[in-house]
Structure 1
Amino acid sequence: MTLTDEELDRYARHIVLREVGGAGQLKLKAGKILVIGAGGIGSAVLPALAAAGVGLLRMADDDVVSLSNLQRQTLFTTADIGQPKVAVAAQRLTALNPHVTLDLHPTRVTAANLPALIDGMDVVIDGSDNFATRLAVSDAATAAQVPLVSAAISQFQGQIGTFRGWLPDAPCYRCFVGDAHDPEECDTCAEQGVLGAMVTMVGGFAAMEAMRVLIGFGDSPMGRLHILDGLAPGWRTIRLPKDPGCSACGS
């Protein structure tokens, strides 16, 4: 695999980075990423990864664009209301970078279809909006031994973590939240609200973490959870231990 003259020009600002270079850009070109959710997080993640030159982006989302999405889901416009999100996203991403291959799955993610969606992927990014899906994604990624970048946001707070639960000392997402969450008792974005600009910040961070997995630059994110407080404002990082009793990755 090589980079064409057009690609060398397109990705020049990556290639001059010592931590990326031509070798790193080739890793992005060879990379395959599954993005779960084309909503708020996905609207920031997908253009960032497409612009960066990730070779294949697989998108899974069964929703259509609604008026209330437009405050934070910047991939879409008023004219897109009522259209499938993955189809509209594909049009935008192709216009942004025609070198990226797009694999569209306008379907609801479930424990049953996740193994097929994850198969062959190098990274999974989860931007879904409920704990049931997040736990199913975590379990499937752990079982497939594919790194999971989990990104979530509510009101003025965002959380981003990279999980490799199959490794002996690394937690999975279930180690973090446990088994006790009742989806019926968890507030939704519609009920709690979310500041639109926060979504862009958290999604951009998640895209960077996925690129870190593919290229290998900087420090290892294993076992760390990054928390953005938009009211303070500020970032902080906490260590997450592996739960030896975890039903997905424990001993």
Structure 2
Amino acid sequence: MEAMAGELERLRAEREELDSRIRLLESQFGASLTPAGEGDAAGTGAGGGGGGGGATACPIRRRGNGFAAADGLPADMIYRYSRHLLLPDFGVEGQRKLSQSSILVVGAGGLGSPVALYLAACGVGCLGIVDGDDVELNNLHRQIIHKEAYVGKSKVKSAADACREINSSINVMEYHHTLIPCNALEIVRKYDIVVDATDNLPTRYMISDCCVLLNKPLISGAALGLEGQLTVYHHNGSPCYRCLFPNPPPVAACQRCSDSGVLGVVPGVIGCLQALEAIKVATDVGEPLSGRMLLFDALSARIRIVKIRGSSTVCTVCGENSAFTQDDFQKFDYENFTQSPMSDKSAPSLDILPGSARVTCKEYKRLVDNGERHLLLDVRPAHHFQIASVSQSLNIPLSELEEKLQMLETSLKDTTDASSSDKPPSLYVVCRRGNDSQIAVQLLREKGFLSAKDIIGGLQSWAQDVDPDFPVY
């Protein structure tokens, strides 16, 4: 009898699961039969796919159980979003507007992770995600949408799968490539709101220009080190990015987290606030950060809101007499304009030294193995040197090198005294990627250290070509 009772219970559970799946498929089938522009059950657009060319081309998936009033929400939506509906300032109307909106998130990294997750969970009708990168292990401390299992795979695929796991009732559109001028207009025009979750200057200008041309509000955030900022551009009279920064700042002032680092939770905080601003704009609830900028200091736990000026009448893109067209946009060279690359993987290397002043990592390894007397100077910042270093190297940061030339001379003399050879020791210089070391060698040769040579590619090349166990960061 116990066996029969157990079998009966198992069959009942299977029947309930099948009934649930049938209801889900019926609702999706019903959504696929709605008129054009009201819904679409197919929500995975790879590459540049995802609807036609109009602003409402992004399909909105709607589910219902047949019991909702014509102007009400289906029962499954009421239960899922019940905590939203209980808010007097949000309620049914706010949820309805959100479920009918389409939002594009550009970047599936530290900022884009919480943005996409929260927009999916909160029930945005159509969520587009654009990113051309793959998941790397060093992303995971801050890009919480990705898992270890996705390392080496597309960020967009990883992010889209995570969003669908949270909320299968929304459409998630995938764009497995970098947003650039030749494809940006086609993609952005399909969405109501754009979220800039990128980390580089040329892309910020490009997204802002694109949103102005297509009259889209832009939720812009940034996070670096222990600080972050957030504002809403081109909305309710607020300026565009070019209004505030008509000329790009110097390249040295534009750092990325791959260069300067970032505490993982900082982009998380800013990304959550970006999601909040996107929801406010989509639902007309509350007061968005239009004409205001939020500044976040993680160390002091301080948040400041500062007022920023309105749209500039002389802005080259949104100004009264602007002649900037969509054709101009597609031809504009944003990397040349900002003198910086859109991807840190394509960052150009310096080439300021003659070949006689440079050696490869393999050549340096051979002279070490041959016992050639030399001094290895590491010009990275001190906290980089603490992360990892080649044994018996001397650390003098590039920023301190000129004032510490005496220390270098003393170290070279000590190297000479420790050897029985009369030949003066050679001086080799290394850094993280092979750029600062060239600047250092140029300076040293001007100061009389004529034997100084640069190690091409720095410690990244050392790890790649000589010692695969050397830590890469």
TM-score by shorter chain over 0.5: yes
Q: Indicate the residue corresponding to 2:287 in structure 1.
A: 219
CA contact (8 A) 2:232 2:288 kept: no
What's the CA shift for 1:78?
1.5
Q: Indicate the residue corresponding to 2:263 in structure 1.
A: 195
Does structure 1 residue 101 correspond to structure 2 residue 171? Answer: yes
1:152 to 214, 219, 222: 222
Q: Distance in 2 between matches of 1:34 and 1:184?
A: 30
Q: Distance in 1 between matches of 2:195 and 2:104?
A: 6
Does structure 1 residue 45 correspond to structure 2 residue 45? Answer: no
Q: Distance in 2 between matches of 1:20 and 1:30?
A: 15
Q: Indicate the residue corresponding to 1:230 in structure 2.
A: 298
Q: Indicate the residue corresponding to 1:250 in structure 2.
A: 319
What's the CA shift for 1:218?
1.5
Spell out, residue by residue over 1:7-49, the C-alpha distance to the aligned partner (whole angstroms, 9 max, x if none): 1000000011111111110101001000000011011100100
What secondary structure is seen at the aligned counterpart in 1 of 2:278? helix
What's the CA shift for 1:124?
0.1
Whichever of the two has the greater Rg, that structure is 2
CA contact (8 A) 1:61 1:106 kept: yes
Counterpart residue identity of residue 62, structure 1: G
What's the CA shift for 1:177?
2.7
Question: Which one has the bigger strand percentage?
Answer: 1
1:143 to 206, 213, 235: 213
Q: Distance in 2 between matches of 1:153 and 1:54?
A: 24
What's the CA shift for 1:6?
1.1
Structure 2 length-normalised TM:
0.51
CA contact (8 A) 2:277 2:288 kept: no
What's the CA shift for 1:221?
2.5
What's the CA shift for 1:185?
6.0
What secondary structure is seen at the aligned counterpart in 1 of 2:299? coil
Q: Indicate the residue corresponding to 2:245 in structure 1.
A: 177
Counterpart residue identity of residue 158, structure 1: G
Counterpart residue identity of residue 219, structure 1: E
**Identity of matched residues, %:** 34
Spell out, residue by residue over 1:90-144, the C-alpha distance to the aligned partner (whole angstroms, 9 max, x if none): 1111110001101100111112211111113111000111010010000000111
Q: Distance in 2 between matches of 1:159 and 1:6?
A: 37
The farther-off stretch of 20-29 and 110-119 is 110-119
What secondary structure is seen at the aligned counterpart in 1 of 2:114? helix
Change (3 A) 1:89 1:220: closer
CA contact (8 A) 1:156 1:229 kept: yes
Does structure 1 residue 92 correspond to structure 2 residue 162? Answer: yes
Q: What is the number of residues matched between the two proteins?
A: 249
Q: Which runs of 5+ in 2 are unaligned?
A: 1-70, 321-473
Q: Indicate the residue corresponding to 1:204 in structure 2.
A: 272
Change (3 A) 1:237 1:67: same
The farther-off stretch of 238-247 and 18-27 is 238-247
Does structure 1 residue 35 correspond to structure 2 residue 105? Answer: yes
Structure 1 length-normalised TM:
0.95
Spell out, residue by residue over 1:170-203, the C-alpha distance to the aligned partner (whole angstroms, 9 max, x if none): 2112222332235576221111110101111100
Change (3 A) 1:2 1:89: farther
